Amino acid sequence: MSLLEVKDLTVRFYTQEGVVTAVDDLSYRIERGEKFGVVGESGAGKSVTALSVLRLIESPGQIESGEILFKGENLLEMSESEIRSIRGNEISMIFQDAQTALNPVYTVGGQIAEAIEHHMDYSSEEAKARTIQLLDRVGIPEAEERFSDYPHEFSGGMQQRAIIAMALSCDPDLIVADEPTTALDVTIEAQILDELTELADEFDTSIQLITHDLGVIAEICDRVMVMYAGKPVEKAPVEELYYDPKHPYTVGLMSSIPRVNDKRERLQTIPGVMPDLVELPSGCSFHPRCPFAEEKCTRTEPSLTDVESGEEATLDTEHSAACLEYTEGLSQGLTYSVETTGPADGAAAQYVEGDRDE
Amino acid sequence: MRRIYESNALHRDDEEAHAPSKKERKTKLQALRSVPSSTLSDFLIPRRFRHLPVSVDVETPDDEYETGEPIPFRVTLRNRLPVPISIPTRSPLLWRWTVDGNVEAAEVSVRDPPDEEGQLSFDRGERKEFRKRWDQLFRVSESEWEPAAAGTHTIGVAINATDAEERGLTDETTVRIVP
């Protein structure tokens, strides 16, 4: 049995402007100990997916349909007290903005210890001891003295580490990390990602890592799901996604990563912006920005398909993409090439070019 | 205590675009911030009368469009009263637009709003304006779209309230698609 199975999840927000379909018919699975990446631009529905897993969607948002099975039990059918016993205990979350996630009027140590006391029935002394141990583990210097510091006395990197310590405090089975390093500089980012991976390996914890940084995904994850306008457009093991991307959006994301040894004068970007989720384009949502789009892309919405067999993808499908090329076939095809430079053993060492022959 | 507007610390000029003007406010602020006016309005104005001050309008910039040309349209919902008004709606979907009677130009039902009441709230004298676009395509199934035929089509807008049409909470306009 998988640790987490999300089936046909649809989340909508009923606003004055119209209905925002933030997540549309999304399915994925996370195995025990697996590091699963969710990537996409801002507004792709990554954070809403993460919040749905913890049932933290607030009004006017509604989880309209689907199932979220955690260890075989549907989280959407649980009572509020049942889900509260899972939040922070079996599934914990690392929020994007640590400063906002921490309560400014309580000490950092106190906030971490509270979760330990609540979920693990520790006495306050035991919880304090464990908190100090965790703060030390995530690299907070002089953890014992910093226990009683307030969030404003911590730097951004330290606040993020404190949030990671909080997420790890109850030995969760799954950590949902929503852009854990977005607000940090690259050196701190690398340290925190290393710590997160190390700690997850040590505690055999699964991670659902949400980011818009493909470099971070390459470093950490085993499998990746690329999201666009609330829908999954490609799902693949990380190496396959980097060496053999199948969806034009993934190709666009890859080619917009700057590289040190890049010979191109200008960075290739994906033209346009993510569509308004209230008014999605007809057919494939990506067609207005896709360099390979044809008329049929404006008329037919592609479903997630096994790229090998062309059959509709299931949760077991290894590599799937949502492009008509893999079902009906595009008359011009997808004419991009993937070029690898340097050693081919690291996923990050590859190089993807969209529609360029060299 | 001398206020900033009584001092000469601020340069004021009616002609200069980026300087604050010399003119004083002619009208008094009408809102009584200490009074929860929306709640009070909901309490005092019976549900059956709340639709009366609300108007619904839909308009397109042109009457004729060439085949394939996206048709923009503007929806205006307005509360004519100087007090807040809220209209109960049948679901959290507060209003909808249709083309030839098809909600959001879809011949199939693409969403099923939850079975609970919603509320379309207007501030005093508020005008809500939404800009939408119809791509001249009808959604014929979950994943298929077909182009609209040339001829006249009706774009309608309705607040999702009970008896919206009888209560004047709908409007429509027609456009012609020419080949």
* pLDDT tens profile A322-345: 999 888 778 777 877 777 665 544
Ordered alpha helix ranges (H), chain B: 37-44
Closest alpha carbon within chain A to B129: A17
More confident residue, B7 or A57: A57
Name the residue among A214, A175, A183, A276 with its Cα closest to residue A40. A214
| pLDDT of amino acid A343 | 53
| pLDDT of amino acid A197 | 86
For an interface test with B, which of A279, A285, A304, A328 has the most B Cβ atoms less than 10 Å from its Cβ?
Answer: A279
Q: Per-residue confidence at A352, pLDDT binned at 50, 70, 90? A: very low
Residue A14 has its nearest CB partner, among B93, B112, B128, at B93
Structural domain harbouring B102: 54-177
Cα–Cα dist A312/A277, whole Å = 25
> Do A322 and A248 reside in the same domain of the chain?
yes
Query: Strands (DSSP E) along chain A, which ranges?
Result: 4-14, 19-30, 35-39, 61-70, 73-74, 91-94, 174-178, 206-211, 223-228, 231-237, 305-306, 320-321, 337-340, 350-353
Residue B36 lies in a domain: no
| A295 inside 8 A of chain B by CB | no
Residue A115 lies in a domain: yes
Ordered alpha helix ranges (H), B37-139: 37-44
**Main-chain phi, psi angles of A55, to 5 degrees:** 50, 50
SS3 A170: coil
Q: Tell me the CATH number at B76.
A: 2.60.40.10
Segment B65-73 shows an average pLDDT of 92
Residue B2 lies in a domain: no
Residue B20 lies in a domain: no
Residue B3 lies in a domain: no
| pLDDT of amino acid A351 | 42
Closest alpha carbon within chain A to B147: A299
Tokens encoding A154: 């911590």
* Per-residue CA distances from B173 to A251, A347, B42, B59, B179 (Å): 43, 56, 32, 6, 20
Is residue A319 within 8 Å of residue A239, measured between CB atoms?
Answer: no
| pLDDT of amino acid A137 | 84
| pLDDT of amino acid B27 | 62
Question: CA B136, B140, B145, B151: dihedral to nearest 10 degrees?
Answer: -30
Distance from CA of B44 to the nearest CA of A (A): 24
> Do A165 and A234 reside in the same domain of the chain?
no
> Do A95 and A159 reside in the same domain of the chain?
yes
Structural domain harbouring A299: 227-353
Q: Rg (Cα) of chain B, in Å, rounded? A: 22
Residue B28 lies in a domain: no
- Residue A257 clears pLDDT 90, i.e. is over it: no
> Do A242 and A345 reside in the same domain of the chain?
yes
Cα–Cα dist B19/B13, whole Å = 6
Q: Tell me the CATH number at A327.
A: 3.40.50.300
Tokens encoding B47: 């549900």
For an interface test with B, which of A8, A11, A13, A19 has the most B Cβ atoms less than 10 Å from its Cβ?
Answer: A19
| A64 inside 8 A of chain B by CB | yes
Q: What percent of chain A has pLDDT over 90?
A: 48
ipTM value: 0.79
Residue at A337: amino acid letter: S
Helix (H) or strand (E) holding B78: strand B71-79
Using CB atoms within 10 Å of the CB of residue B14, give its burial: 0 to 12 exposed, 13 to 18 middle, 19+ buried. exposed
> Do A233 and A341 reside in the same domain of the chain?
yes
Residue A38 lies in a domain: no
> Do A100 and A166 reside in the same domain of the chain?
yes
Residue A53 lies in a domain: no
> Do A160 and A233 reside in the same domain of the chain?
no
Q: What percent of chain B has pLDDT over 70?
A: 89
| pLDDT of amino acid A353 | 45
Domain boundary pick from A155, A171, A187: A171
Residues 124-153 of B with CB under 8 A from A: 128, 130, 132-133, 135, 137, 139, 142-146
**pLDDT tens digits, residue range A37-83?**
999 888 899 999 999 999 999 888 999 999 999 999 999 999 999 99
Q: Per-residue confidence at B29, pLDDT binned at 50, 70, 90? A: low
Residue A95 lies in a domain: yes
* Mean pLDDT, chain A, whole residue set: 86
| pLDDT of amino acid B35 | 72
Helix (H) or strand (E) holding B137: strand B137-139
Greatest Cα pair distance in chain A: 69
Residue A279 has its nearest CB partner, among B112, B132, B144, at B132
Domain boundary pick from A136, A151, A171: A171
Partners of A28 in beta bridges? A6
Tokens encoding A234: 């490609």
> Do A155 and A259 reside in the same domain of the chain?
no
Q: Per-residue confidence at A274, pLDDT binned at 50, 70, 90? A: confident
Residue A159 lies in a domain: yes
**Inter-chain touch A282–B146, beta carbons under 8 Å:** no
Residue B106 lies in a domain: yes
**Main-chain phi, psi angles of A149, to 5 degrees:** -80, 150
Cα–Cα dist A28/A33, whole Å = 15
More confident residue, B10 or A173: A173
Number of domains in chain A: 2
* DSSP-assigned states of every residue in A64-118: EEEEEEETTEEGGGS-HHHHHHHBTTTEEEE-S-HHHHS-TTS-HHHHHHHHHHH
Is residue B155 within 8 Å of residue B101, measured between CB atoms?
Answer: no
Under DSSP, the state recorded for B130 is: E
Residue A191 lies in a domain: no
| pLDDT of amino acid A90 | 92
Segment A292-307 shows an average pLDDT of 90
Domain boundary pick from A171, A188, A217: A171
Residue A250 lies in a domain: yes
Number of domains in chain B: 1
